[in-house]
Structure 1
Amino acid sequence: MDIRYEIIYYYYNYLLFTFCLCSVQPQKQKLTVKSGDDAPLQCQAPTDKEIILVEWTLSKLPKDDDVVFYWNKDKDKISQKQNQNPAYRDRVELMDPWMTHGKVLVKLKNVSSSDRGTYRCRVTREAGKPPDLYSTIWLEVEESGEFKEMMGEDIQQYLPLLLPVVAVTVPLLALTACRFLRSLLMMSYRPISK
């Protein structure tokens, strides 16, 4: 096998592996809002299948009562609210009921310091399967100040952006270095004359 095809083969597999690794990383965000304002909580699900269940949970609540928003395409609104923590009933609404392009955006109304914490968005796209985690948002509530939406300081949330850059840059640098060294060797090569 020619070395060029071998390099292309390994490079292709490396890119494919990196893409798969990046696509399974849930989104992580930090959201800061002023007390009394509404907080937009958003997650992005893949668009290849229909969304059949959405669940937003707050990690600091007891496990059996941690659901702040629940939507099921096969249930009516009353039964959906029964799955919700009572403190969040009528305070959380789905902004786009069609969930266009896989965007699951809910609005948490009239936030207070008790709403501070880590929210997780889980989405089910196939009946009978457990929901998959697509987003984690740390909600910070300020007593005064302007609305801010910031990415957290944690490096893990930048991985979906960094990994493809590294996946492309490192092999290209290696390939360029190999070609450069090969050209140097070819220039210094002198056949032995008899």
Structure 2
Amino acid sequence: MMGSRIWAYKVQEIIAESGRNASLLCQFPNNNHISLNWTRVDHMEKYVYLHRDGHFDPYNQHPSFKNRVDLQDRQMKDGDVSLILMNVTINDTGTYECRVFVGETSSWKSISIISLRVVVPPGE
């Protein structure tokens, strides 16, 4: 069921070289959201990044992303909730989803879905 929901959105494709940082872009026009989460579709039981109550919450973060992710703008000015994934590896290849909790509707809203493909740089 979760997989069928993803195809309702335009998926942005990003290619990153192994060992580099990847920027996963996500903009939310309303800066009054309560919570933000980034998930990877095949790791739904744990978050890539969770921001709630005004700060990063590492409790349910998937172990493979610990100390490797940060927001592009921690202040989330102008609704920029883009994620930086540091030192990517082939294992980071997958589909990522950016969601915000919208207080007016008391529900999660998917903002961005990104298909990340990590490649080995030529000559390695």
Query: Deviation of residue 124 (structure 1)?
Result: 1.4
The percentage of aligned residue pairs carrying the same residue is 32
For residues 162-187 of structure 1, the C-alpha deviation after alignment (integer angstroms, 9 at most, x for no partner) is: xxxxxxxxxxxxxxxxxxxxxxxxxx
Mark the CA change 1:32 to 1:86 in structure 2 (over 3 Å): closer, same or farther.
Answer: same
Partner of 1:106: 83
Mark the CA change 1:97 to 1:26 in structure 2 (over 3 Å): closer, same or farther.
Answer: farther
For residues 25-62 of structure 1, the C-alpha deviation after alignment (integer angstroms, 9 at most, x for no partner) is: 75521000000000101112123x5122111111122x
Contact 1:27/1:43, CA 8 A, preserved across alignment: no
SS at match of 1:37: coil
Amino acid of the residue matched to residue 141 of structure 1?
A: V
Q: What is the TM-score when the length of structure 1 is the normalising length?
A: 0.54
Contact 2:21/2:84, CA 8 A, preserved across alignment: yes
Mark the CA change 1:104 to 1:26 in structure 2 (over 3 Å): closer, same or farther.
Answer: farther
1:77-92 matches, cutoff 5 A: 77=56, 80-92=57-69
Contact 1:52/1:127, CA 8 A, preserved across alignment: no
Specify every segment of 5 or more residues in structure 1 that has no aligned partner in the other structure, as ranges: 1-24, 146-194
Which structure's relative contact order is higher, taking Cα pairs within 8 Å and 6+ residues apart? 2
Contact 1:58/1:118, CA 8 A, preserved across alignment: yes
Does residue 1:71 correspond to 2:51, yes or no? yes
Q: Name the stretch that deviates more: 95-104 or 28-37.
A: 95-104
1:12-27 matches, cutoff 5 A: 26-27=9-10
More helix by share: 1
SS at match of 2:26: strand
Please report the RMSD computed on the Cα atoms of aligned residues, expressed in angstroms: 2.0
More strand by share: 2
Amino acid of the residue matched to residue 56 of structure 1?
A: W
Q: What is the TM-score when the length of structure 2 is the normalising length?
A: 0.82
SS at match of 2:100: strand
Shift >2 Å, 4+ stretches = 25-28
Does residue 1:46 correspond to 2:29, yes or no? yes
Does residue 1:140 correspond to 2:117, yes or no? yes
Cα distance in 2, alignment partners of residues 84 and 130 from structure 1: 21
SS at match of 2:103: coil
For residues 79-122 of structure 1, the C-alpha deviation after alignment (integer angstroms, 9 at most, x for no partner) is: x1012111111110012122122121110001001000000000
Does residue 1:125 correspond to 2:102, yes or no? yes
Contact 2:72/2:80, CA 8 A, preserved across alignment: no
Cα distance in 2, alignment partners of residues 120 and 32 from structure 1: 16
Partner of 1:34: 17
